[in-house]
């Protein structure tokens, strides 16, 4: 199944020579015998290449801020950007006070030509006033799109003045689409803003429940977060805040009281996780609620962290009950999936997470990669010191936090911490590389051309990716599964999610529609058909 | 649902938008460019725009939408994107090999003022290949404007008057409609035996068949030769003023092809206008087949009029579509009381006319006093509905939230429809499209009547 270096060269030969060399560094054929391999990531996509990547604004407003339900998110820019991030991501949310749920609203300053020429600050200020007057939100965010930075609107000053006028936090994010090389820059900008202005702004000093945790990098796509919450509350955890799926300003501001931070999507939220550790002494645990085994392992690691025998016992009880419940269903789907192969190319963490779930169904992932991840998401965080920042990422400001004099508290003794780190991924992420088999391929920022070529070579049975390449792949007669928005299904996380995913993937294989692709007249010669059926005419 | 929306309307003067009823120009330009055979649309700007536009079009059509981007970084934004565009053009021809590239701008490149025609001139373009462009500043107009701009650019780049006498053929500019509509308009033109050139024509591109093979450049689309020959036609029929009249005017200016601007042929009257225009231009009898269809439509409308008569409707969407739908519901005896588009309305007397004035005149003929707004948003529409409830809402997918909040039957029409399938294959134009709309509307109203009926009022025959 594996491809050779020569075959890879042949694919790349189609590119202009400079691009050939560039793309080669983003593609790795797994060969762990010869030691750690290095992949290039988080560098700019060549102009003209049909990439799946989006922009910093998409990462900031679309991914991280958008799901916060009790804040009104204003997009400062022409209309498109706000419009495309309105309800398209399937991050679900519910609130007790129905009038404080803004998830189905899109607010834009809808900049016009005169705003571009004369500046849009006044208009932005007025839009903020109207939002307050109409919605009375607890807080507001303002996200900038491409032209804003260029014309020099000072959104920070506008936000600050509005805060004073209205007495509520107004957060400004300079996440213009040209910053960085992908959504990733926007995640970072959003993380900084939330850390700086929201987390810790609450007055709580101690959590209400036992085992207080935050769930980071969980966006509640298709209800994923709710399934995770179901399991965690059942075991007895107190979820203080979720970042940011079904999350709220109200919860987020007290996130500092947690004893542990769980990190689901490392790429989009690791900055906050790190800063929380520095500022409040709260370690983070890399978790993975995608797949039955990963969920079980995650639950056990969490119990291990708190070290309470009663919690461990309860964890095992819930695991045993859930596994017994879903196993028969999973078995039935495994029969359909066993022995198949997959490509898994998504986002910044799912390209890794879904490999385990595919594996449980008997599906081998032969090619995987991320759209906008960094080297550490592939190779593990030990490479962090080696990553050189280039001109494109240098302009994303780093936020430096210090120990909070009143609230910093070591949650574990340094000895205990060191001991645990040997056993569980505490404040560490190992990346996708170590989980991939010999001969499999890792591709960063996979593009349309390479997708077609790799499919021709490796002929996968299923392609897990996003909406933009879904129908390309299906036209080739190969089922394609959207792992960003789940093809309008879900949840896919946790125990119930695994079953949903297994069902949906099996459906993709078993659908009768694939059988109709070739019309009968293409398979039967015109003349012989007639002769056999009716004798010589 | 939408519980933060109040009935009380507080005047908003900022010009900001809450829940838009329009989007930005480039997506329209991208869609129009897909209607040229062998064309790869190219978005000159940062990656995000291209990604958003492809995502959205893909969701509406459920088909591959191929387009490339100049992938700006901050450096390009400061120093200009010339190098990006030139590299892009070279790479695109080498790797994807389209017949032509259609460049459109984004708000980023418009703001920095990249001079696209000059950049194209200095780019490496292989023999026999072509690069065209249009400017699509997102801070002007809407996605409909972008469609219109790219269509006008097709005229600018290709159309030529090469014959001394105009040919017995008509140009048809279908406007921002689905491929299913374009196919229906072509069917009508064929029935009328009118030789035609349709541009842009996305049928066969974004509704391509499943064959087991992916084709980056599918069979459909207007050919470059046809676009050139459009300058020799004796008439251009522009369907929908906002999306089509600009290109038609340009064709008149450039190649002396006279223009007839008609409404998007939604409903019986607008379709009659199209048929009459073709009949007059080609002095040809209307075939029985069309007359039969028309008669069937009238028959259906008459048979079912009691489902509709006097019912209040709210309509929103793109101006050309909204105009057509308004006329259609009025022909059924319904009362359109709220009519809104997100697209700016145009000035009276301009080629696109004024949305507000035109709709006012239209509903005025039936003595209806409606709320009418161009450059409006769905927050406003929702508040109108709270103040004057309606029996039916017609619009794109975004209307479903209002429909649910207010418990109103809802018919999905226009762009985008993201939560239902098949719509892009099926026409809403022509007599058969009108039949489909009548079926959709009556289905929505009667399903509601059934849902709400007490057992004893729940009837077999309706
Ligand atoms: S940056 Fe401009 S062109 Fe791009 S999506 Fe936003 S509004 Fe549209
Ligand atoms: S899980 Fe994927 S899509 Fe979601 S935020 Fe992380 S990288 Fe983005």
Share of chain B above pLDDT 90, in %: 96
Model confidence at A531, pLDDT cuts 50, 70, 90, reads: low
Going from the Cα of A225 to the center of ligand 2, the distance in angstroms, rounded, reads: 13
Among the listed residues A138, A102, A108, A87, the one whose alpha carbon sits nearest the alpha carbon of residue B12 = A108
Mutate to test the pocket of ligand 1, among A75, A115, A116, A177 (most ligand atoms within 8 A of CB): A177
Examine the pLDDT at A519 and tell me if it is beyond 90.
Answer: yes
Share of chain B above pLDDT 70, in %: 99
B217 lines ligand 1 (CB under 6 A): no
Lowest mean pLDDT among A477-486, A509-518, B207-216, B350-359: B350-359
CA distance B238 to A172: 45
A265 lines ligand 2 (CB under 6 A): yes
B25-140 is a CATH 3.40.50.1980 domain: yes
| Residues 338 through 367 of chain A touching chain B, CB cutoff 8 Å | none
CA distance B276 to chain A (A): 39
> Residue A534: its pLDDT value, please?
52
Going from the Cα of A271 to the center of ligand 2, the distance in angstroms, rounded, reads: 14
Alpha helices, H only, A86-182? 113-118, 121-135, 146-151, 155-166
Q: Where are the domains of chain B?
A: 25-140, 167-291, 304-457
The active-site residue, picked from A26, A41, A55, A344, is A55
Among the listed residues A271, A107, A274, the one whose alpha carbon sits nearest the alpha carbon of residue A189 = A271
Active site residue A55: yes
> Residue B346: its pLDDT value, please?
84
Q: What is the pTM of this model?
A: 0.97
CB B163 within 8 A of CB B117: no
Q: Does B4 touch chain A (CB under 8 A)?
A: yes
Q: Does A130 touch chain B (CB under 8 A)?
A: yes
Going from the Cα of A336 to the center of ligand 1, the distance in angstroms, rounded, reads: 43
Going from the Cα of B341 to the center of ligand 1, the distance in angstroms, rounded, reads: 20
CB A219 within 8 A of CB A91: yes
Q: Express each pLDDT in A408-451 by its tens digit.
A: 999 999 999 999 999 999 999 999 999 999 999 999 999 999 99
Q: Please give the class, per CATH, of domain B167-291.
A: alpha beta
Examine the pLDDT at B280 and tell me if it is beyond 90.
Answer: yes
Model confidence at B349, pLDDT cuts 50, 70, 90, reads: low
Q: Does A129 touch chain B (CB under 8 A)?
A: yes
Give the DSSP per-residue string, A345-384: E-TTTHHHHHHHHHHHTT-EEEEEE-SS--HHHHH-GGGG
Q: How many CB atoms lie within 10 A of CB A517?
A: 14
Contacts of A150 in chain B (CB under 8 A): 77, 108, 111-112
B304-457 is a CATH 3.90.70.10 domain: no
Among B24, B67, B215, select the one facing A78 at the smallest CB separation.
B24
Examine the pLDDT at B210 and tell me if it is beyond 60.
Answer: yes
Q: For the residues A86-106, what does the mean pLDDT come to?
A: 96
Q: Does A55 touch chain B (CB under 8 A)?
A: yes
> Residue B353: its pLDDT value, please?
73
A56-197 is a CATH 3.40.50.1980 domain: yes
Residue B55 to residue A112, Cβ atoms within 8 A = no
> Residue A528: its pLDDT value, please?
67
CA distance B8 to B169: 55
Q: Tokens at residue A263, please?
A: 């990190």
> Residue A395: its pLDDT value, please?
82
> Residue A105: its pLDDT value, please?
98
Half-sphere exposure of A77 (CA within 13 A, CB side): 33
CA distance A495 to A319: 9
Q: For the residues A463-486, what does the mean pLDDT come to?
A: 96
Residue A221: what are its φ and ψ, rounded to 5°? -65, 130
Place of tokens 């430096």: A400
Instruction: Look over chain A and give the mean of its residue pLDDT values, rounded to a whole number.
Output: 95
Q: How many CB atoms lie within 10 A of CB A158?
A: 23
Which chain B residue has the Cα nearest residue A60?
B48
Q: Express each pLDDT in B109-150 by its tens digit.
A: 999 999 999 999 999 999 999 999 999 999 999 999 999 999
Mutate to test the pocket of ligand 2, among A219, A273, A464 (most ligand atoms within 8 A of CB): A219
Among B4, B46, B90, select the one facing A146 at the smallest CB separation.
B46
Q: How many CB atoms lie within 10 A of CB A208?
A: 10
Q: ipTM score here?
A: 0.97
Share of chain A above pLDDT 70, in %: 98
| Residues 213 through 252 of chain B touching chain A, CB cutoff 8 Å | 213-215
- Determine the Cα angle at B139 with ends B137 and B143, to 5°: 70
Q: Express each pLDDT in B223-239 by its tens digit.
A: 999 999 999 999 999 99
> Residue A532: its pLDDT value, please?
54
Model confidence at B78, pLDDT cuts 50, 70, 90, reads: confident
Examine the pLDDT at A367 and tell me if it is beyond 70.
Answer: yes
Q: How far is CA B65 from the centre of its chain?
A: 17
Q: How many CB atoms lie within 10 A of CB A528?
A: 9
Q: Express each pLDDT in A123-134 by its tens digit.
A: 999 999 999 999
> Residue A537: its pLDDT value, please?
42
- Tell which of B23, B29, B47, B204 to mutate to test the A interface (max A CBs under 10 Å): B47
Q: Where are the domains of chain A?
A: 56-197
Q: Express each pLDDT in A276-334 by its tens digit.
A: 999 999 999 999 999 999 999 999 999 999 999 999 999 999 999 999 999 999 999 99
CA distance A267 to A373: 6
Alpha helices, H only, B192-332? 224-229, 241-255, 268-282, 288-303, 305-308, 319-331
Same topology for domains B167-291 and B304-457, yes or no? yes
């Amino acid at each position: 199944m594996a491809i050779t270096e020569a075959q890879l060269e042949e694919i790349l030969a189609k590119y202009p020579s400079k691009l050939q060399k560039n793309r080669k560094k983003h593609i790795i054929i797994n060969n762990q015998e010869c030691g750690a391999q290095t992949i290039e990531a988080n560098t700019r996509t060549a102009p003209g290449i049909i990439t799946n990547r989006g922009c910093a604004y998409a990462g900031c407003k679309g991914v991280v801020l958008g799901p916060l339900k009790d804040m009104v998110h204003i997009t400062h820019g022409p209309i498109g950007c706000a419009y495309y991030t309105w309800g398209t991501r399937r991050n679900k949310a519910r609130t007790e006070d129905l009038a404080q749920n803004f998830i189905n609203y899109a607010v834009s300053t809808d900049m016009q030509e005169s705003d571009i020429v004369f500046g849009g600050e006044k208009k932005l200020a007025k839009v903020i006033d109207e939002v307050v007057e109409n919605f009375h939100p607890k807080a507001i965010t303002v996200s900038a799109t491409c032209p804003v930075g260029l014309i020099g609107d000072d959104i920070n000053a506008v936000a600050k003045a509005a805060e004073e006028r209205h007495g509520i936090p107004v957060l400004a994010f300079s996440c213009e689409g040209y910053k960085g090389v992908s959504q990733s820059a926007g995640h970072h900008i959003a993380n900084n803003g939330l850390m700086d202005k929201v987390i810790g702004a609450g007055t709580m000093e101690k959590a209400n429940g036992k085992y207080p945790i935050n769930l980071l990098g969980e966006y509640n796509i298709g209800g994923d977060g709710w399934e995770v919450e179901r399991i965690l509350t059942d075991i007895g955890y107190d979820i203080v805040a979720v970042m940011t799926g079904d999350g709220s300003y109200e919860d987020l501001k007290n996130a500092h009281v947690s004893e542990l931070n769980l990190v689901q999507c490392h790429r989009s939220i690791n900055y906050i996780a790190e800063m929380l550790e520095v500022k409040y002494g709260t370690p983070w645990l890399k978790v993975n609620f995608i797949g039955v085994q990963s969920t079980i392992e995650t639950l056990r690691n969490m119990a291990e962290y708190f070290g309470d025998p009663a919690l461990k016992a309860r964890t095992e009880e819930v695991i045993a009950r859930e596994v017994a419940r879903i196993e028969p269903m999973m078995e039935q789907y495994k029969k359909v999936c066993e022995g198949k192969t997959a490509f898994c190319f998504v986002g910044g963490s799912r390209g890794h997470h879904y490999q385990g779930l595919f594996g449980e169904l008997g599906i081998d992932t032969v090619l995987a990669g991320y759209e906008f991840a960094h080297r550490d998401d592939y190779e593990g965080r030990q490479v962090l010191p080696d990553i050189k920042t280039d001109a494109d990422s240098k302009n994303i400001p780093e936020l430096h936090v210090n120990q909070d004099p009143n609230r910093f508290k070591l949650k574990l003794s340094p000895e205990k911490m060191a001991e645990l780190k040997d056993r569980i991924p505490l404040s560490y992420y190992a990346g996708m590389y170590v989980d991939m088999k010999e001969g499999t391929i890792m591709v960063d920022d996979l593009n349309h051309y390479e997708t077609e070529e790799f499919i021709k070579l490796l002929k996968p049975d299923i392609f897990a990716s996003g909406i933009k390449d879904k129908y390309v792949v299906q036209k080739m007669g190969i089922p394609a599964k959207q792992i960003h928005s789940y093809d309008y299904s879900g949840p896919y996380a946790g125990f119930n999610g695994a079953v949903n995913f297994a069902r949906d993937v099996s459906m993709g294989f078993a659908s009768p529609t694939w059988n109709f692709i070739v019309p009968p007249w293409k398979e039967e010669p015109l003349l012989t058909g007639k002769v056999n059926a009716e004798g010589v005419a | 649902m939408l519980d933060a929306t109040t009935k009380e309307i507080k005047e908003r003067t900022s010009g900001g938008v809450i829940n838009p009823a329009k989007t930005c120009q480039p997506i329209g330009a991208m869609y129009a460019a897909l209607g040229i055979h062998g064309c790869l649309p190219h978005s000159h700007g940062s990656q995000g725009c291209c990604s958003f536009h492809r995502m959205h079009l893909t969701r509406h059509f459920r088909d591959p939408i191929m387009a490339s981007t100049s992938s700006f970084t901050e450096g390009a934004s400061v120093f200009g994107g010339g190098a990006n565009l030139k590299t892009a053009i070279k790479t695109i021809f080498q790797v994807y090999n389209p017949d032509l590239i259609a460049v459109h701008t984004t708000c980023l490149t418009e703001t920095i003022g990249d001079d696209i025609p000059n950049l194209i001139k200095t780019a490496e373009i292989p023999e026999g290949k072509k690069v065209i462009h249009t400017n699509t500043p997102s801070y002007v107009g809407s996605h409909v404007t972008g469609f219109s701009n790219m269509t006008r650019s097709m005229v600018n780049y290709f159309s030529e008057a090469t014959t001394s006498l105009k040919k017995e053929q008509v140009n048809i500019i279908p406007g921002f409609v689905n491929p299913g509509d374009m196919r229906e308009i072509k069917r009508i033109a064929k029935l009328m035996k009118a030789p035609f050139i349709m541009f842009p024509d996305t049928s066969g591109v974004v509704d391509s068949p499943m064959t087991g093979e992916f084709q980056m450049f599918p069979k459909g689309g207007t050919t470059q030769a046809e676009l050139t020959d459009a300058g020799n036609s004796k008439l251009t029929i522009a369907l929908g003023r906002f999306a089509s009249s600009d290109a038609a005017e340009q064709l008149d200016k450039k190649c002396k092809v006279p223009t007839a601007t008609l409404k998007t042929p939604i409903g019986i009257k607008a379709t009659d206008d199209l048929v009459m225009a073709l009949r007059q231009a080609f002095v040809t009898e209307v075939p029985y087949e069309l007359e039969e269809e028309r008669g069937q439509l009238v028959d259906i409308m008459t048979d079912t009029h009691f489902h509709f008569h006097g019912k209040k409707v709210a309509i929103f969407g793109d101006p050309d579509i909204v105009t057509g739908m308004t006329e259609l519901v009025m022909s059924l005896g319904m009362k359109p009381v709220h009519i809104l588009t997100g697209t700016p309305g145009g000035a009276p007397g301009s080629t696109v006319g004024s949305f507000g004035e035109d709709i006012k005149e239209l509903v005025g003929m039936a003595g209806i006093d409606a709320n009418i707004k161009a450059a409006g948003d769905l927050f406003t529409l929702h508040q109108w509905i709270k103040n004057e409830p309606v029996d039916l809402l017609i619009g794109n997918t975004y209307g479903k939230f209002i429909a649910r909040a207010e418990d109103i039957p809802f018919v999905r029409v226009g762009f985008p429809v993201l939560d239902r399938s098949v719509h892009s294959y099926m026409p809403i134009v022509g007599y058969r499209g009108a039949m489909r709309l009548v079926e959709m509307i009556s289905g929505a109203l009667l399903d509601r009547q059934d849902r709400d009926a007490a057992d004893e009022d729940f009837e077999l025959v309706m």
